[in-house]
Amino acid sequence: MKKFTAVFLAALMALGCASSSNINFNPGTYQGVAPGFNGDITMEVTVDAGRILNVRVVSQNDTPEISGLAYERIPAAIVAGQTLAVDVVSGATYSSQGIINAVSAALEKSGVDIAALKTRRPVAAAAARSSKKESYDIVVIGAGGAGMAAAIAAQQAGSRVVVLEKMPRAGGNTIISGAAYNAADPGRQASIPMNAANRAAIQEMISKTPHDAFEAELQQTIRRQFAEFTSSGKTGLFDSPEWHMIQTYNGGDYVADPEMVRTFGANALSALEWEISMGMQFTPDIFTVLGALWPRSHRPVMPLGTGYITTDLNYIEQHKDMITLLVDTKATELITSGGRVTGVKAEGPGVNYEFTARKAVVIATGGFAANKELRQKYNTQWPNLDSAGTTNHPGATGDGLVLAEKVGANFVGMDYVQLLPMGDPATGSLSGNIEQGVEDRFFVNKSGNRFVDEGARRDVMTLALFEQQDAYMWVICDKHSYPTPQTKNNFNETIEELIQQGRAFGADTIEELAAKINVPAANLRAAVAEFNAGVDAGRDKWGRTLWRIKIDTPPYYAGARIPTVHHTMGGIQINTRAQVLNTRGQVIPGLYACGETTGGIHGSNRLGGNALADIHVFGRIAGTNAAAERP
């Protein structure tokens, strides 16, 4: 990355930096402040009469694994180009814009014509492009969690691997995700008490008429497991791979491929332990992430999904003789020979690549939730999604689908687009979400009334939110979620910071909180009372069964949320070996896929926390099997 940055800066300097004519500063050093992704950014700029001499970061709170490249590239680009008309860094848009705005605020103090500086762009001479041919055992397209898992698994099986990433940094959606990882893990779940509501949920599932033979098989296994659990006298939470499978299958309306669900559930824990073996760290507590339906979500120690990608990058650094990672390098075409995929064409900085894959190619390019045209093309469930925000990074545009379709790959479940009720009202992102777990919070609408089971499926909650005024809600919690003002949410933001930014509200009484969020106090009091009664009863009129503790301890907190596009369940059809299938159901030789670019695993609705398990389970499978190819 440092080498690329040096090349980048050299290219900018080669532009000859536009003349300083018509741009005049009062010499000195100035500071400016502007909002970033996670709080204010302070930048310092030094100028002489005609030039910007230096731009440096004074303070910022953005997550370095996500926004670090913006802080590295943009100040350098401003100095090199002598302009504010610099490109944002893809994947770090909010931080990039915050840096530019803070520098603008600083330069305004110098008396310069800011409007002229914002439109002044040096013209680069067209750089000559070179051509390069390279050969590896495995070519992986995409450096998110799935692609990294595939690359590492392939290397561990003895293959030399190159990973191609079109964005300027590795991470994909994984690095900005909520990062919860679902796996039945009785050892870690033993400290969670098994309550009456949990038992009732299991009994209801195993007693109902099965949808098909697969569900009947799972029911039979779970009956035996649960009977053994009950007779053992254990007080901790019951869970098993089969209970995870049946909730996944049922929660996706039975349209997932049963064998894919089986493979997923059976390997979730081993894939988790595999990642831990490479240095990934999780907190000891198990929780229930939004829409998970059961307390089996593992929480990383590092914020968001940075822990997964940091772990993977550290591993790659230690094995760089076997794994090569190329960023800013976009795959443009799959190379085929005799019906077999044999390589990839790609475009990198100044280079046209042709990569030969001696064994196989793995597509791990993520979903298409950031592609408004594509998601609206397939959308059949939701109101128009053209203007909806998304939790996804800007590179989630479905590139892998385009590549795969050209070699005859089949797609499944493309109309299953998942929305969350948890988008930031301004950005659509997950940041600013004050919930720490499903059991310890509830939702109210603009009238201060509850309107849904807050432990339900994600699509159920989002559809209910669309029916509320302005499709707008408040998440309500208390001190149990934030023992101190410095307690952080899952996105590395303290409740104190969120309140200071006006993204959350805190109060010592329910009446005071109601006034701050402009809802009737009587309604909010009634909602709190209803929630607390549900804690005692284990179920309420909404059908909620996930409870832990009453909301009765100030400070009380509220944070606003709206619907946002989160995940695309449809994609490339694969089998349990992660081999890509064509439109006739046959394997396309030499081609594998994993992660959100694939379909058939989650059905019509993905359970919260299943994505991180999915990408590691099938990423590992794809890499291992690709490495075993014998063309």
Q: Show which residues are catalytic.
A: 458
User: Half-sphere exposure of 404 toward its Cβ, with a 13 Å CA cutoff?
Assistant: 35
Residue type, 497: E
Residue type, 483: P
What are the start-end ranges of the H helices in 114-240? 114-119, 145-156, 186-189, 196-207, 213-232
DSSP-assigned letters across all residues of 398-429: -HHHHHHHTTTB-EE-TT-EEEEEEE-TTT-S
Which residue carries 């590295």 as its tokens?
72
- Do you find a cis peptide bond into 555, omega within 30 degrees of 0? yes
Sign of the four-CA dihedral 154, 160, 165, 170: positive
C-alpha span between 91 and 113 (Å, rounded): 30
Contact 595, 404 (CB under 8 A): no
Other C-beta atoms lying within 10 Å of the C-beta of residue 474: 25
C-alpha span between 616 and 601 (Å, rounded): 13
Q: What angle do CA 132, 315, 141 make, to 5 degrees?
A: 40
* Residues 6 or more apart in contact with residue 281 via CB below 8 angstroms: 300, 301, 302, 307
What are the start-end ranges of the H helices in 501-552? 510-517, 521-537
Contact 173, 596 (CB under 8 A): yes
DSSP-assigned letters across all residues of 45-71: EEE-SS-EEEEEEEE--S-HHHHHHHH
* Residues 6 or more apart in contact with residue 125 via CB below 8 angstroms: 14, 15
Give Cα separations from 304 to 62, 301, 491, 514, 612 (angstroms).
12, 9, 5, 30, 12
Give Cα separations from 255 to 245, 381, 426, 584, 600 (angstroms).
13, 15, 34, 19, 8
DSSP-assigned letters across all residues of 219-288: HHHHHHHHHHHHHHT--B----HHHHHHHHHHHTTT-S-HHHHHHHHHHHHHHHHHHHHTT--EEEEEE-
Token pair listed for 205: 């599932």
C-alpha span between 531 and 524 (Å, rounded): 11
Q: Give kind and range of the element (H or E) at residue 40.
A: strand 39-47
DSSP-assigned letters across all residues of 541-578: TT--------S-SSSEEEEEEEEEEEEE--EEEB-TT-
Q: Give kind and range of the element (H or E) at residue 608.
A: none
Contact 246, 215 (CB under 8 A): yes
C-alpha span between 413 and 429 (Å, rounded): 24
C-alpha span between 89 and 513 (Å, rounded): 38
